[in-house]
Each structure stands twice: as C-alpha cells, then as structure tokens.
A and B are shown apart, each in its own frame.
Chain A
Amino acid sequence: MLAGLAVLAACGAPGGASTVHAKPSFEGRGPITYVAGKDATGSVQLVLDRWNKLHPKEKVTFVQLPTDPDAQRQQMIQNAQTKSDAYTVLSLDVVWTSEFAAHRWVDPLPQDRFPLRKMLKPIVETGKYRGGLYAVPASSDGGMLYYRTDLLKRAGIKRPPATWAEMKADCAKVRKLPEAKGMHCYAGQFQKYEGLTVNFAEAVNSAGGLVTDPAGAPRVDTPQARRGLDFLVDSFKDGTIPKDAITYQEEDGRRAFQAGKLIFERQWPYMYPLVAKEDGSSKVAGRFAVAPLPGLTGPGASSLGGHNVALSASAENKATALDFMEFLTSEKLQRFTLATAPAAPTFDELYKDPKLVKKYPYLPTLKRSILHAVPRPRVFRYGDVTAAIQREAYAAMTGSKNSAQALKDLQKTLRQQRAAQ
C-alpha cells in the first residue's frame, strides 16, 4: 500500500491535485449511510441492526437504490458530481471500480486494514485500480454449468462435460431419450445487455482468448477469440442453443431450466436454491447439479460478478466508515449472511466449511469457477466497452455479421475508444 501511494504521490507531483489522495485521512466519527441496490431478502437491514446495536453513536442508515444496476450507478454518480455527503459507503458492482477510482469519486483505501490475503485472489483484484485498493470485496459471483443429473445418468454419461464438444455430444445422447423430447441443449444470457458481455467474455476466455489484456488493450481480433465467439454463433445455428435464448436474461433462462426445457444452463449461484425448491415451483428439484463451465479444450473460465464496498470521496465521518467497511467485509459477517440467504462469499475458509457446503452444495464448484475466472475488461469507460461488445456479439449471434468481421469491428472500436481516452 505504501509503495502504491508513493508511486501515486510521485506521479501526481507536478499537478498538485493528487496530494489529497496521497494522504487519505480517515477522520470523523458519527452517523453514516450505506448505499446499495434494493435488498430483496431483507438481510442488509439485519446486518445494519447488528452494527447499530454495537455502535449506537455511529449509526448506519440504509439508502436503498433501485434494483436496476444502471440506475444505481447513475444515482451514485450524481451524488459524486454534486459532492454530496449523503452517501458514505457505496456498494459497487465489480466492473465499476475503475470508473469510480479514475474519477476520484471514491477514496483509495489502506490495504492493511482488510484481511485481503484470506480472500480468493481474483476477487481481491476486482477492487484494485492501477495497483491501489479502492473497493473491498463484500460478495462475489461466478458462472457455473447447471445440468440435469437424471438425464445424463439415464443416457449413460458418468460425469458432466468439460468441453463444448463433449457437451454437444452429451446432448445428442440425452435427446435420444423419450423423456428428453423437445428439450434444448444449452442456454446462457444472450439478450443485448450486460449479461451478453459476461457470456461473450466467458466464451472468448474459455477458448484461450482475451477481450482485453491486463493493461486494458483490446485483444479480440485473434483466432482464439474467434473460436470462442464461433461456439456461440454455431450453437445458435445448429440448434444447441434455442432461438428464444437471444431474448434470455437470467430469469428467462431460470424459468426454462426449472420447467425442464434445458439440459445444460450457464447460471449464477443465486439460481441454485430456487431450482432446488421442493414446493412444486421447480420441476427439476433434486435432479440437477453444478459443474465448472466447459471450454474449448478443457474447463472454461467464468466472468466475475459480485459487489465491493467503497468509500465516497465527498463523505463525512470517514473513520466510522472505515470501521463499518471492515465489519461489512469480515468473515464473521459473511458467515452470518450465508445463514439466511445464498451468496458467493469472498473468503477461502467459507468455501471449505462442511456445514456450509452441506447447505449450499454449489460452493466447491463455485470456488473453482472463481479461481479460474477472468475479470471483465477493467477500463474506466466500461459503459462504452460493454456497449461495443454487446453490439458486435449480438450482430454475430443473430447472423447479421460473420464472427470474423464482428471481432474485427469490435477490435477497431475498442482501440478507438482507448485512443480517445
């Protein structure tokens, strides 16, 4: 951390503006706010109640933003632009870190205050910008392959597929079964929205390609990236992926899987308890399991999801805020929230806990998924990058462009965007 700060200080010396950031002071105690998206399960308020009981003079109020991530981001940006102190601790989507850090809307944080070493490494990386820590992981998320255990068993398949070719072969076998009549092989999230960027990046990474290199330069015009995109394009063409899936977001895919229309599906962990429900809402309860995502020649690579907490630069009572962030990202607290709702924890320890694994059987698979995960492009104008990816991937998947041309155009656009910075 000190080294990072020294570099920042040295770099910023001529401008003079960075002196504030070289010596972040976390002073002031008193009431603060925690800003996050809509809390569907009610667990956030439970957490805050716990804190407020222990710290009656430094109460945390929950500022609830809409469910839509874009709306959350916009409100946080507005708060930062007006330099308001209404928001203190922000719950940031992992892909927003660079943007918020580059605009200095959030403060750099002292790395030694947080048990980052005990967390899974790819998760910690999502909170960093140019080597400095700007957001601390509070929850993670990774894609997994959900599959129908009953059908695979009946078709004589012993283990879930590790490659795309295996998956297609397994589908061919399963589809010959009378009970699999009319079923489709595979789906993910292919509607033109952030989910498409996630699925496209996963396909490219799983074929050994890259969307952007670690320095942020685009690398999509490669044979590997093309093989990744071709998997999606060809799957749409040959019917491996149903035509409807071009309109699928998470919930559409979940409904299809739950209704027994899909043999395989790429999904987040949130779906697990919902599909496992025995109340009749799911037709496949007890007949499914999860595996790592398949790839071109071996297991694939997931994109990383999740939320990190950051400290608004214009906030007050930053000493309290830092304590609260420590509390919020602690192992103890993640254990507490896991008791009430499913989640993807950030601590290695929690993925090994036998009790938790019994309750959430997806945990070991999820850990493997996260360890092999590749973060989505970490650039400060992420909105433009994801829009360009969505446009070209969608054009290729709907057949209005061939995949080589789409990737060539994407590379060109991403390079122009980078040059314009």
Chain B
Amino acid sequence: MVMTQNSPARPRAAASFAPPRRRRRRATSGSARLAALLVSPTLLVLTVVVLYPTIVALKDSLFGTPGLDPKTGFVRDTDPFVGAENYTAIFGDAADRFWNAFWNTTFLTFTTVALETVIGVAMALIMHRAFQGRALVRASILVPWAIPTAVSGLLWRWIFNSDGIANTLTGQHVLWTTEGFHAQVAVIIADVWKTAPFIGLLVLAGLQVINKEVYEAARMDGASPLRQFWHITLPLVKPALMVAVLFRTLDALRMFDLPYILIGAQKTSVETLSMLAQDEAANVRFGPAAAYAVILFLYVFLIALAFVRLLGANVVGDDESGPKRGRWLPRRRTEVAA
C-alpha cells in the first residue's frame, strides 16, 4: 500500500523543509545571506511575540509576591527574588490545588479528545456520503465549531440550569453546576459538542483525497463495509486524523473558558491549570502565575513531542520526512501556546 500523497499536512511540510535543505548544500554564501535576510522579518516577529514573552514569563516565575509593610500599611515596591520556590511549591504548600488542577486538565483532555475523535470520524463519514442535502448537513454540523467558546459556555449553562432543558429531558434533577463528577460531565458534553466538528472537518478533507478505485478493488475482493472502513478508510485517513487529534489535544490542555463560564471560577472539580494560573494572576501574584504557565507550557510541549515521536512516525511512514515533521509540529505549537 503506497498512498503517500494522501496526507494533507505532508505536502506543506515537504514544501517548506525538504527543498531548502537540498539547496543549502549547493548554496553560495551570497544566496545564504539573501535567504537569511529574507527570513529575518519573520524571525524578528517571532522573537517579539514568542521568544520575549516566554523569557519574561520564565524570569517572572522566579520572583515572589511583595508583602505589606506593617509600618506604612502599603505594599512593598519590589518583588522579592525567590529562585525556584514557585516551582517547588507544587510539592509543598500549593500541592493540593496544583495536582488537582493537573489531573483535571489531563482527565478532561483525554476524555474529551477520545469522544471527539469517535464522533468526529462518524460526522466525517456522514458528510462524505453523497446524498441529497449534503451541503446542508455539512453546514449544520459545523455550526457548533463556529460559535465562540464563551458563548457556547453561556448556552450550556442555560441547558444545565437546575430547571433547564437537560434536567427536563432526562427527568432527573441534577445540579450540574455544583461541585462533583457531574460538573466534569457537563464540561465534557459541552466541549465535545463544540469541537467534534473540528475533527470531522479535518477527517473529511482526508476522506476526500482517498482514491475511489481502492474501494472498488476492495468490493471486487468481497470486503465487507466494516472491513473496508478498518483496512482502507482508517489507514488512509490516519495522517489527517492524527493532525486533528494532536491539535485538539494541545488545545484541550489549555482549556479555560468553558469550565470558567459554564461551571464557575472557584470550582475545585473542574479547575484546570490555565484557570489556576489565571486565578493567581488575578490576585496579583504574578510569580506563581508565571510558574504555573511555564509548567503548563512544558506539559503541552512534552505531550506534543510524545505524540509526534510515537504516533507521528507512523503517520508519515517515510523515514526522510518523519523527523522533519516532528520538528515542524512542536515549533508551530509554541506560537499558539504562547
């Protein structure tokens, strides 16, 4: 099975990385300088919007919160340098809250992404079928993705109200926005509703480039629809699916607005790392806030790296471009995370 042209991400990666490398070997110093000159505006922008804030966050995370001068009643002017104290605090004073937020983040990410993948692939298969009103179905499946998260948070808060439609339909009386597992369920439902179409859309793009002849051949060989899905559709759509899942995972790790609006700011059951960092910053403790942000950044980075190394190697199935994509994805990620 050699269907390498099927990845939507692959041509971009190949176009941006493979040719320059080949050219560089033959390049004269003049053209190298020209290349550096041409790239420099991009590098400058990246330095200003990515590198500088990251370095400042790292620096801030090494400082503590100024205390009150008991004589004047005013807060002291300078932030005390505390070294790695803000980081070691996650094993000390701040341990409960930090690890709770850490596990919440991880749990919500894995459950939502798993559900979104299954539902998203199903959506893509439906959107891919040629039937009447296909355009309408495609458009309507995409509606949740088009709604801003804050708005969908408010919308679901109405649905999960104590006398809202969720309770009316199920005939239960669950107080969804109170502390507990049900609050996590509410967040998962709302998040899956909103982002499954994203996976659906990317998988649909992957489906559309699969050659129809492959299916014809399979039918001739007498493969059942399930077998066709398992042995043809899934492997061929995998590159697109992996990109979608990776992006969703990285996005879900930064989850903030949905639990914040749907359930509330001080709720332990759904507090994520982003919410924790925001809460610290809101209480004018920029040191711990920056430390949490850096930890989250590293966590996101590690997951992205693991994803690309473990799953991404198979995605491309071609030894030469594999590592290049590996470098491309996390690099791209830092821009979004920062």
Instruction: Please give the residue numbers on chain A whose beta carbons come within 8 Å of chain B beta carbons, in ascending order.
Output: 8, 11-12, 14-15, 17-18, 21, 70, 73-74, 77, 99, 101-104, 129-130, 191-193, 243-244, 246-247, 252, 380-381, 383-384, 387, 390-391, 394, 398, 400, 420-421
Contact = CB atoms under 8 A, between A and B. Distances in A.
B40 interface: no
B72 A383 contact: no
A247 B179 contact: no
B71 A77 contact: no
- Interface residues of A: mostly helix, strand, loop or mixed? helix
Given A247-B178, A394-B179, A17 B77 contact: yes
Contacts of B319: none
Contacts of A380: 68, 75
A387 B177 contact: no
Given A193-B266, A383-B283, A387-B266, A12 B71 contact: yes
Nearest to A17: B77
B216 interface: no
Contacts of A70: 265, 282
20 contacts: A11-B71, A11-B73, A12-B74, A15-B69, A15-B72, A17-B72, A21-B74, A70-B282, A77-B284, A101-B73, A103-B75, A104-B75, A129-B73, A192-B264, A192-B266, A243-B175, A246-B178, A380-B75, A384-B283, A387-B266
Contacts of A387: 266, 279
B177 A191 contact: yes
Given A70-B282, A247-B162, A247-B175, A192 B267 contact: yes
B335 interface: no
Contacts of B321: none
Contacts of B74: 12, 17-18, 21, 102-104
A420 B94 CA distance: 14
A192 B179 contact: yes
Contact of B177 (A129, A247, A391): A247
What 9 pairs across the A-B complex have the smallest Cβ distances?
A: A244-B162, A383-B283, A130-B73, A421-B68, A12-B72, A11-B71, A103-B75, A192-B266, A102-B75
Interface in B174-197: 175, 177-179
A81 to B, nearest CB: 8
Given A70-B282, A192-B266, A193-B264, A246 B72 contact: no
Interface string B251-281: 0000000000000111110000000000100
Interface in B48-73: 67-69, 71-73
A391 B71 CA distance: 32
Interface residues of B, number: 26
Interface of B: 67-69, 71-75, 77, 161-163, 173, 175, 177-179, 264-268, 279, 282-284
- Interface residues of B: mostly helix, strand, loop or mixed? loop
B244 to A, nearest CB: 33
Contact of A390 (B69, B161, B266): B266
A73 B77 CA distance: 20
Contacts of A420: 67
Nearest to B267: A192
Kindly name the residue among A12, A77, A192, A398 whose own CB sees the greatest number of chain B CB atoms within 10 A: A192
A398 B69 contact: no
A99 B65 CA distance: 14
A243 B279 CA distance: 28
A214 B130 CA distance: 74
Nearest to A131: B73
A103 B266 contact: no
Contacts of A391: 266, 268
B266 A11 contact: no
Nearest to A420: B67
A23 to B, nearest CB: 15
Nearest to B180: A398
Nearest to A246: B178
Contact of B68 (A17, A102, A192): A102
Contacts of B69: 15
A59 B23 CA distance: 63
Nearest to A384: B283
A246 B77 CA distance: 41
Contacts of B161: 247, 252
B59 to A, nearest CB: 16
A398 B179 CA distance: 9
A390 B264 CA distance: 12
A193 B265 contact: yes
Nearest to B163: A244
Contacts of B72: 8, 11-12, 15, 17-18
